[in-house]
A and B are shown apart, each in its own frame.
Chain A
Amino acid sequence: MSGETRERSTRRLATIRDRLDTGMDRREFVRTLVTGGYAVGMAQFLGVEDFLSADNGDVPIVTALVREDPDDPWSLTERTRYVPAGWYAAVESAIELNERLAQLAFTGYLGSAVVPGSYQSETATVSVGISRDWGSVRDLLNQLATGIPVDIEAIFDDGGIDDLEDVGDIEDADDLESVDGIDGGRDSFEPRLVEDVHEGYVPSGVACETPTSLATLGPALYSPDTEQAFFVTAEHAFEGNPDPVGEPVSLPVRDSDHVSLGTVASAHPVEDFATIEPTGDIEPVSLIDTQSPLRVRGQYTKLGLADLMARGERLEKVGAMTGHTTGAIQGIDAVTCFTDDFCRYGQIRWGGQMDLTDGDSGSVSFHADPAGDDEDVLIAGFNNARTWWPGQSYVWGVGAYRLTELHGYHF
């Protein structure tokens, strides 16, 4: 076609061959190394590893915020994992649909949750709780869903939200066991009390006392704004007090007097947690009370919880009444609107009705840190309530990621 071009390129190739024939001298070798190193550095700067290490059709997700140094709560780093792109897309659209449903909050909407499927299935469903008006709501859902499978979980033909109390037992302030009633507790559980306060710290999973009730002490919650560590428990443990800030919280000790923990620094009724500023000799620590204490190394993100669910992993908790139990995750990013006149967002649903009872509120759900030491765990969220009605039985509470999103706190 163009002989001249070809001739020129052959000539150039011949020159290159000549140069190659002379072999690579040392200067050239050094130059190759330096240029190669620069090229690799440039590639890293451009972030090629983010997509190169993915297999075909895999995308990276941030699954957890984990401390690099277990003793330094401020050394949080993101942990990523590669997941099938199809699964990720399904979960993301289910999360979006779930948010849209919550925004609409149509009549009869009681709540909904995202239920990620397995990685092989590459699906995710949205489980929606509805009180009435089956027909019209189903049409509305089908219009909204556009391809996302929707499960309608609980339907009550007549009457509305009031009926829920009859079929389920929703632990709220009214149900919370009073301090006086501990001995003859309805579920006849003995609260787990600390034996003695050794070395000035107390782990999560033991009982703590507010002026009105008994709840479970959570692991230390950290506020990056003030670089402070707080004790933490459920806000509804301060029943009947609309503004519990300043209320004292104490620690019952077996065969001994109560020890003061501190006073409430902030109360969050919607997320249902209260931070307690330490005023005594005891410091909050990132430990959970099991036979050999577990160390909190960080927390899962929303997608990290979706990943756990896709792999069929279970959550654990240590409550002051029911102790150490485990259960399957049932839904993430859940919205619950049936306990109050507002909706709670970013909830986790897991386990069953046996995993929580009055006095366990304030405990955390957690899962072993797959990349950490044997005793390392990552927090999923709080356990604040349980719900059961025909076909449904789960513990629920706000996800740790939600606290971080809203208030910056982290475990």
Chain B
Amino acid sequence: MSDSSSHSSTGSTPSGRTIRGGIGRIIADAIIVAAFVLLLTLLFLQTGWPRWAFYAALFLGVAVYVSITRPW
């Protein structure tokens, strides 16, 4: 268990290693999530999918992003 967590903390994105300190990671999160929202917005603008799908995709995306990246 401890092995797997240390593995994921070192083996995940290189940016996680280079950006030191919580603030750096929060800024990275902000930029990545903003890009994700923008992408999602453009996608929904083009396809005209319903509102519930937009918010479902938004929260699902955030949940997945949070669970696969290192905590603050």
Our count of residue pairs bridging A and B at CB distance below 8 angstroms stands at 72
Interface residues of A in 30-74 (CB under 8 A from B): 31-32, 35-36, 38-40, 42-43, 46, 48, 51-53, 56-57
Q: Are A39 and B62 closer than 8 Å at their CB atoms?
A: yes
Q: Are B4 and A39 closer than 8 Å at their CB atoms?
A: no
Q: Are B67 and A20 closer than 8 Å at their CB atoms?
A: yes
Q: Are A46 and B62 closer than 8 Å at their CB atoms?
A: no
Q: Measured between alpha carbons, how far is A36 from B61 in the docked complex, in Å?
A: 9
Set of chain A residues within 8 Å of B21, measured between Cβ atoms = none
Q: Are A52 and B44 closer than 8 Å at their CB atoms?
A: yes
Q: Measured between alpha carbons, how far is A126 from B54 in the docked complex, in Å?
A: 40
Q: Measured between alpha carbons, how far is A57 from B11 in the docked complex, in Å?
A: 47
Min Cβ gap B39→A in Å is: 11
Q: Are A28 and B66 closer than 8 Å at their CB atoms?
A: yes
Q: Measured between alpha carbons, how far is A24 from B63 in the docked complex, in Å?
A: 10
Min Cβ gap A32→B in Å is: 5
Partner of B33 from the list A24, A42, A48 (CB cut-off 8 Å) is A42
Q: Are B7 and A39 closer than 8 Å at their CB atoms?
A: no
Provided the pairs A15-B4, A42-B33 are in contact, do residues A35 and B67 lie with their beta carbons within 8 angstroms?
Answer: no
Set of chain B residues within 8 Å of A18, measured between Cβ atoms = 4-5, 8
Q: Are B4 and A35 closer than 8 Å at their CB atoms?
A: no
Majority-rule SS of B interface residues? helix
Chain A CB within 8 A of B45 CB: yes
Provided the pairs A46-B41, A51-B45 are in contact, do residues A35 and B58 lie with their beta carbons within 8 angstroms?
Answer: no
Min Cβ gap B19→A in Å is: 16
Min Cβ gap A16→B in Å is: 5
Partner of B58 from the list A20, A22, A24, A40 (CB cut-off 8 Å) is A40
Q: How many residues of A contact B (CB 8 A)?
A: 26
Set of chain A residues within 8 Å of B34, measured between Cβ atoms = 42
Chain A CB within 8 A of B68 CB: yes
Partner of A39 from the list B5, B33, B45, B50 (CB cut-off 8 Å) is B33
Chain B CB within 8 A of A19 CB: yes
Q: Are A36 and B58 closer than 8 Å at their CB atoms?
A: yes
Min Cβ gap A196→B in Å is: 55
Set of chain B residues within 8 Å of A46, measured between Cβ atoms = 37-38, 41
Chain A CB within 8 A of B51 CB: yes
Query: Digit string of A340-383 for contact with B (CB within 8 Å is 1, else 0)?
Result: 00000000000000000000000000000000000000000000
Chain A CB within 8 A of B14 CB: no
Set of chain B residues within 8 Å of A25, measured between Cβ atoms = 71
Chain B CB within 8 A of A27 CB: yes
Q: Are B58 and A43 closer than 8 Å at their CB atoms?
A: yes
Question: Of all chain B residues, which has the CB nearest A56?
Answer: B48
Min Cβ gap B43→A in Å is: 11
Question: Of all chain A residues, which has the CB nearest B55?
Answer: A40
Min Cβ gap A57→B in Å is: 8
Question: Of all chain A residues, which has the CB nearest B66?
Answer: A32
Question: Of all chain A residues, which has the CB nearest B4?
Answer: A18
Q: Are B59 and A43 closer than 8 Å at their CB atoms?
A: no
Q: Measured between alpha carbons, how far is A18 from B11 in the docked complex, in Å?
A: 14
Question: Of all chain B residues, which has the CB nearest A27?
Answer: B71
Partner of A31 from the list B45, B58, B66 (CB cut-off 8 Å) is B66
Q: Are B41 and A31 closer than 8 Å at their CB atoms?
A: no
Q: Are A19 and B33 closer than 8 Å at their CB atoms?
A: no
Q: Are A35 and B38 closer than 8 Å at their CB atoms?
A: no
Interface residues of B in 6-65 (CB under 8 A from A): 7-8, 11, 29-30, 33-34, 36-38, 40-41, 44-45, 48, 50-51, 54-55, 58-59, 61-63, 65
Partner of B67 from the list A16, A43, A48 (CB cut-off 8 Å) is A16
Q: Are B36 and A52 closer than 8 Å at their CB atoms?
A: no
Min Cβ gap A357→B in Å is: 51
Set of chain A residues within 8 Å of B72, measured between Cβ atoms = 27, 31
Q: Are B54 and A52 closer than 8 Å at their CB atoms?
A: yes
Q: Are B37 and A42 closer than 8 Å at their CB atoms?
A: yes
Q: Are B41 and A32 closer than 8 Å at their CB atoms?
A: no
Min Cβ gap A68→B in Å is: 25
Q: Are B54 and A35 closer than 8 Å at their CB atoms?
A: no
Q: Are A52 and B51 closer than 8 Å at their CB atoms?
A: yes
Set of chain B residues within 8 Å of A28, measured between Cβ atoms = 66-67, 71
A-B CB contact pairs (8 Å), 23 listed: A18-B4, A18-B8, A20-B67, A24-B67, A25-B71, A27-B71, A28-B66, A32-B62, A32-B63, A35-B29, A36-B58, A36-B59, A38-B33, A39-B33, A39-B36, A39-B58, A39-B61, A40-B55, A42-B37, A42-B38, A43-B37, A51-B45, A52-B44
